[in-house]
Structure 1
Amino acid sequence: MQAARLHEYTDDMSEALTVEDVEKPEISTSGQIIVEVEGAGWCQTDNHIIEGMWEPYAEQNLPMTLGHENAGSVVEVGDEVTTVEVGDSVICHPVRTCGQCRACRLGNDMYCENGAFSGLDTDGGFAEYLLTSERSAIKLDDIDPVDIAPHADAGITAYHASKKAVDELVPGNYCVLIGIGGLGHIGLQAVEAMSAARTIAVDIKDDALELAERLGADFTVNSGDENVADAITDITDGAGGTQVLDFVGADSTTNLAPDIVSPGGDHHIVGYGGHVHRPSQDLVDGEFSYQGNLVGTYTELQELIALVEQGEMHLTTTQYDLDEINKVAEKLERNEIEGRAVIRP
């Protein structure tokens, strides 16, 4: 089968992955399934994996097939698989979990002690076929797997962070969303669907802010034209954002927290690549918190799919063939993709 493989870490996205013939995966345990991949979302994390940013955090044996946002049709099942069958359309949670460790039993799939993460530490879905587990698959009814594939990671990551934020939001509060791109436009819809708080969308691109307005944002701020802290102060009459969802995670955005987060609020870091460099007194004085967000749980992916089925969530996507994969990596590096890119192997 054809697969896009990472052979060595590089900053040159033009030759990042090599499309080559590899053996089709085979089922080796009774709970595994094989999915014919119809759509695999390209994520900023894929660029970071290519750059070697994840190498200190995950054991990666190169060459490896990337792709952790996968959806398609089940073509083979293990002997004990009961919840899906051949022919079912499914979306796949990126973490293949054991179901037996303490984290799994508590429902915290992303902390599985024995897990494997498709496209991060084991072969993923930038290929014709994906080996995964029954525990990772969610059946899709009347939803195109290609259209929904990015929800497997971008969607649940944005939803996971937004759900935590919504728990702390009440009518009259403000929620600030920084970066209305691939994750941010999902997070905005999640907050709008689950909260009565007023939303402030921040981005450097006018087309991203226009998208935010179409998706229901109450206010928009162009960070290239305005001082973000001053703009949020004006909009909120000095109250700030009770919850801030940072889908960029650069030094310039994490640095905003003391000036834009309400006392006792949270600055959720969803995007990453930057650092947190603030005096500890800022946190004491503002009594705000920085919160990290890692993927989401299997049940949160189920909840997100329910929102899609109810018409509350819409993805902006562009489709590409497998042999265009390095073109996609370059375009994302240059911030030229609106919404999410989906590879069709």
Structure 2
Amino acid sequence: MKAVQLEAYEQEPQLMDVPDPEVKDPHDVVVRIGGAGVCRTDLHIIEGQWEEKSGVALPYTIGHENAGWVEAVGSAVTNVAPGDPVILHPLVTCGLCRACRFGDDVHCENSRFPGIDSDGGYAEYLLTSARSVVRLDDSLEPAAVAALADAGLTAYHAVAKAARALRPGDTAVCIGAGGLGHIGIQVFKALSSARLVVVDRSPEALALAKEIGADETILADGTQIEQMADLTNGAGAHAVLDFVGEGGAVEDGLRMIRRAGNYYVIGYGGELKVPTIDVISTEINFVGNLVGSYNDLVELMVLAAERKVTLHTQRYSLDDYALALHDLDHGDVRGRAILIPNAAKEFTS
């Protein structure tokens, strides 16, 4: 099969011929990839930022946002069958450790992460587990929801936490309305009645944010702190959902949050520097968000099937992976970039 493999860090991946994955374990599931999301984390992987964290042996296939159709299953698989459309939870988990027993499988002690520490979905086929596949509603196309497997799941995981803490009449601010943020906005409006203010540097992104449910939008033109203060009578937001995490977003977010507010860190790349006395005196809470659980993904797919969450995508063939990575790196992707293998095109034709 064709697969995009990283042979060396800080070098462009290459489209290679590699063996097809095979069912070996009774719980194995082989998926014909219908769409693979192109994520900024993939750029960080290529740059070598994940080299120590992943411990993966090169070469390997990247791509951790995947959906498609079941191709083959092991003898113990009962939840899906060949031909079923599925989206894949990004982790392959054990189901036996303490975290898994609590339903907190994103912190599984024995997990692997296809696309990060093992072969991923920039390919025609991917090997995963019965514990990782969520059957899609027949109305959903794998390519249309693939990026929800990680970007959408991360957004859902964070927004669901915020929604549980917010009350009607509260105000939340969403920093960033791009590939991750535009999903978070839709999830927020589906889960919470609180007021949502969206901040972004792009007028086009803000126009989209307004279209998909933002109550207020603020252009980050140097006056965003003052504008946010005006909207909240100087008190600040009850929650900050930071989908950027770098380039001044963290500093802005810290100046927009009110006393006893919750700051949800979702995007990454920058640094969070807060004097401990400020944390104590204001009782601000900082909440990290790592992907989401299998159950989070199931719930997100319900919202997708109800058309309450819709991805804005730019589609590329698998052969054009380099262009997709280039466009993402240069800010030329609106929404999420999706790679579609030729095998998927043949499967749907």
TM-superposed deviation, 1:119: 0.0
Matching residue of 1:165: 162
Pick the aligned partner of 1:186 from 183, 188, 192: 183
**Are residue 19 (structure 1) and residue 22 (structure 2) matched?**
no
Amino acid at match of 1:184: G
**Are residue 3 (structure 1) and residue 3 (structure 2) matched?**
yes
Matching residue of 2:45: 49
Amino acid at match of 1:333: D
**Are residue 130 (structure 1) and residue 111 (structure 2) matched?**
no
Q: CA offsets, 1:145-182, max 9 Å, x none?
A: 11010110011100000000111111111110001011
Asked if the contact 2:175–2:253 (Cα under 8 Å) also holds between the matched residues in 1, the reply is no
Matching residue of 2:281: 285
Amino acid at match of 1:204: R
Pick the aligned partner of 1:109 from 105, 108, 114: 105
Matching residue of 1:38: 34
Amino acid at match of 2:2: Q
Matching residue of 1:339: 335
Matching residue of 2:241: 245
Give me the TM-score of the superposition, normalised by structure 2: 0.95
Amino acid at match of 2:3: A
Asked if the contact 2:246–2:268 (Cα under 8 Å) also holds between the matched residues in 1, the reply is yes
TM-superposed deviation, 1:251: 5.2
Give the whole-Å Cα distance in 1 for the aligned partners of 2:304 and 2:38. Answer: 20
CA 1:46 to 1:67, structure 2 compared with 1: closer, same or farther past 3 Å? same
**Are residue 329 (structure 1) and residue 317 (structure 2) matched?**
no
Amino acid at match of 2:277: Q
Q: CA offsets, 1:290-344, max 9 Å, x none?
A: 2110000000000000011112111100100112111111111111111100000
Give the whole-Å Cα distance in 1 for the aligned partners of 2:171 and 2:296. Answer: 24
Q: Secondary structure at the match of 1:33?
A: strand
Q: CA offsets, 1:205-231, max 9 Å, x none?
A: 1110000000111111111x2422211
Give the whole-Å Cα distance in 1 for the aligned partners of 2:281 and 2:212. Answer: 35
Give the whole-Å Cα distance in 1 for the aligned partners of 2:80 and 2:256. Answer: 46
TM-superposed deviation, 1:282: 2.2
Amino acid at match of 1:259: R
Asked if the contact 2:242–2:253 (Cα under 8 Å) also holds between the matched residues in 1, the reply is no
Give the whole-Å Cα distance in 1 for the aligned partners of 2:230 and 2:312. Answer: 31
Matching residue of 1:140: 136
Asked if the contact 1:258–1:283 (Cα under 8 Å) also holds between the matched residues in 2, the reply is no
**Are residue 202 (structure 1) and residue 193 (structure 2) matched?**
no
Q: Work out the number of aligned pairs and report it.
A: 340
TM-superposed deviation, 1:8: 1.2
Give the whole-Å Cα distance in 1 for the aligned partners of 2:282 and 2:254. Answer: 7
Give the whole-Å Cα distance in 2 for the aligned partners of 1:208 and 1:60. Answer: 36
Q: CA offsets, 1:219-246, max 9 Å, x none?
A: 11111x2422211101111121111110
Q: Secondary structure at the match of 2:281?
A: helix
Give the whole-Å Cα distance in 1 for the aligned partners of 2:125 and 2:248. Answer: 40
Asked if the contact 1:241–1:260 (Cα under 8 Å) also holds between the matched residues in 2, the reply is yes
Give the whole-Å Cα distance in 2 for the aligned partners of 1:176 and 1:80. Answer: 46
Matching residue of 1:267: 263
| RMSD between superposed Cα atoms in Å | 1.1
Amino acid at match of 1:159: Y
TM-superposed deviation, 1:56: 2.4
TM-superposed deviation, 1:257: 3.6
Give the whole-Å Cα distance in 2 for the aligned partners of 1:265 and 1:255. Answer: 15
Q: Which moved more, 1:234-243 or 1:129-138?
A: 234-243
Matching residue of 2:346: none
Amino acid at match of 2:288: G
TM-superposed deviation, 1:24: 0.6
Give me the TM-score of the superposition, normalised by structure 1: 0.96
Q: CA offsets, 1:24-63, max 9 Å, x none?
A: 1111110001000010011111111111111222212111
Give the whole-Å Cα distance in 1 for the aligned partners of 2:3 and 2:273. Answer: 40
Give the whole-Å Cα distance in 1 for the aligned partners of 2:285 and 2:247. Answer: 16
Q: CA offsets, 1:115-141, max 9 Å, x none?
A: 110100000000000000011001112
Give the whole-Å Cα distance in 1 for the aligned partners of 2:52 and 2:21. Answer: 27
